[in-house]
């Protein structure tokens, strides 16, 4: 089922893991739009929810609330049968360890062909697509090799072939260059870029690798289970000095015209959610000693955020603690710890305005 909207739309996406009586909020209202044919990267500190997001988009895990729509399919509403079909035909998944996609006693070609057999692809189409895919990932010459005869990069490229066997519309990769050296990482990246360009394949890759972040169209930063920043890569033809153009004009008949040079520029943004909240980079807050509260002013050049004046933070904390302690031991309400100092703080904040 094709659709014309964006390839991925996450709106206020929430994922809560329950471990015994503890709840871990891995995604807390994440917003993300991925256009068709985009090659984008997701970065963020460990534990920020990157793998959780990938697992949800890959249909391996269910969202708890919010919206997650991929190619027009609402992942919150799919039956378990529909989710299995989604996993099999809509998305391809590549992990940090290629072995998660591969069967060790099969050859490269057999590994790539296997999901097509399971997916019921007719033999003729299967043979053609296997050959084309093996060429696209640069392994056609090695199709008869067993996995143990391949380097780490070749195994990962086989895993990419397996992920694309059933012609998914989107490829998800969770740290695909996480376990390989620089040169190998580059061959994996080149393969992904080539697939993105040849098949207008939408690719979302989680990465820690700065080289990867420099080679994709867009980098989205996740922090504490929310999208917090975005970096766009723009490639434009470089402007050349007028003198150079004149000289070229004189020689126009004999010389081949040189390829225009490319300028790559990056634009960094912070992301605002629907309620107007944004995450200010932690370094900025530390530099200015801003925590807890700040002042926001509208100025001619934009919005100015300064440390809250007239607030002595340590003193304030101590006062809340004193008052809270007179309330006696902490009460529990439905498994959630009730902290009277927090409740008081809320009252004071409202009273202040």
Query: Interface with ligand ADP by CB under 6 A: which residues?
Result: 17, 19, 24, 26, 44, 46-52
Q: Closest separation between CB of residue 234 and ligand ADP, Å?
A: 27
Residue 52, SS3?
helix
Q: How far apart are CA 233 and CA 235, in angstroms?
A: 7
**56 C-beta neighbours (distance < 10 Å), count:** 25
Count residues near Mg ion (CB under 5 A).
2
Q: Closest separation between CB of residue 23 and ligand ADP, Å?
A: 9
Taking CB under 5 A as the criterion, which residues in 43-62 touch Mg ion? 50-51
168 binds, among Mg ion, ligand ADP, none (CB under 5 to 8 A by kind): none
Q: Closest separation between CB of residue 79 and ligand ADP, Å?
A: 22
User: ∠ CA 346-350-353 to the nearest 5 degrees?
Assistant: 145
Q: Closest separation between CB of residue 50 and Mg ion, Å?
A: 5
Instruction: State whether the Cα torsion 256-190-154-131 is positive or negative.
Output: negative
Tokens standing for residue 102: 């591969």
Q: Closest separation between CB of residue 163 and ligand ADP, Å?
A: 19
Q: Contact region for Mg ion (CB under 5 A) — 42-50, 94-102, 109-117, 147-155?
A: 42-50
Q: Closest separation between CB of residue 155 and ligand ADP, Å?
A: 22
Of residues 36 and 208, the one with the C-beta less far from Mg ion = 208
Residue 229 in contact with Mg ion, rule: CB under 5 A: no
Kind plus residue range of the DSSP H or E element containing 172: strand 170-174
Closest C-alpha among 63, 70, 150 to residue 106: 150
Q: Closest separation between CB of residue 258 and ligand ADP, Å?
A: 44
Q: How far apart are CA 328 and CA 348, in angstroms?
A: 20
**134 C-beta neighbours (distance < 10 Å), count:** 21
Of residues 51 and 196, the one with the C-beta less far from Mg ion = 51
Residue 301, SS3?
coil
Q: Contact 269/229 with Cβ under 8 angstroms?
A: yes
Q: Give one DSSP letter per residue of 337-351, joined into a string.
A: EP-HHHHHHHHHHHH
- Eight-class DSSP state of 100: G
324-336 b/e with 16+ CB inside 10 Å = b? beeeeeeeeeeee
226 binds, among ligand ADP, Mg ion, none (CB under 5 to 8 A by kind): none
Residue 111 in contact with Mg ion, rule: CB under 5 A: no
Of residues 48 and 101, the one with the C-beta less far from ligand ADP = 48
Of residues 50 and 231, the one with the C-beta less far from Mg ion = 50
Of residues 131 and 223, the one with the C-beta less far from ligand ADP = 223
Of residues 34 and 108, the one with the C-beta less far from ligand ADP = 34
Residues that bind Mg ion (CB under 5 A): 50-51
């Amino acid at each position: 089922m094709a659709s014309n909207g964006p390839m991925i739309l996450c709106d206020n996406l929430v994922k809560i893991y329950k471990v015994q009586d503890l709840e871990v909020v891995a995604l807390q209202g994440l917003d993300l739009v991925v256009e068709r044919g985009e090659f984008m990267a997701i970065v963020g500190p460990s534990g920020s929810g990157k793998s959780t997001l990938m697992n949800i988009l890959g249909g391996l895990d269910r969202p708890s609330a919010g919206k997650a729509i991929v190619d027009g399919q609402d992942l919150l509403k799919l039956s378990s049968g529909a989710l299995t079909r989604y996993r099999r035909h809509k998305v391809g998944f590549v992990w940090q360890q290629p072995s998660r996609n591969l069967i060790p006693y099969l050859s490269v070609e057999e590994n790539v062909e296997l999901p097509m057999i399971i997916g019921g692809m007719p033999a003729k189409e299967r043979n053609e697509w296997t050959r084309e895919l093996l060429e696209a990932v640069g392994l056609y010459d090695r199709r008869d090799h067993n996995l143990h005869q391949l380097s780490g990069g070749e195994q990962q490229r086989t895993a990419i072939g397996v992920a694309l066997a059933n012609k998914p519309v989107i490829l998800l990769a969770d740290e695909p260059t996480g376990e390989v050296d620089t040169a190998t990482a580059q061959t994996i990246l080149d393969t992904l870029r080539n697939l993105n360009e040849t098949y207008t394949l939408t690719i979302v890759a989680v990465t820690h690798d700065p080289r990867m972040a420099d080679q994709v169209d867009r980098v989205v930063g996740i922090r504490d289970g929310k999208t917090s920043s975005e970096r766009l890569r723009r490639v434009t033809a470089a402007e050349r000095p007028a003198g150079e153009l004149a000289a070229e004009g004189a020689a126009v008949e004999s010389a081949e015209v040189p390829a225009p040079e490319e300028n790559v520029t990056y634009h960094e943004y912070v992301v605002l959610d629907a309620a107007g909240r944004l995450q200010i980079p932690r370094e900025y807050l530390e530099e200015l000693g801003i925590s807890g509260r700040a002042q926001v002013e509208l100025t001619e050049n934009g919005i100015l955020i300064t440390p809250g004046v007239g607030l002595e933070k340590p003193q304030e904390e101590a006062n809340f603690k004193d008052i809270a302690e007179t309330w006696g031991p902490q009460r529990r309400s439905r498994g959630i710890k009730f902290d009277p100092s927090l409740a008081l703080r809320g009252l004071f904040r409202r009273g202040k305005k």
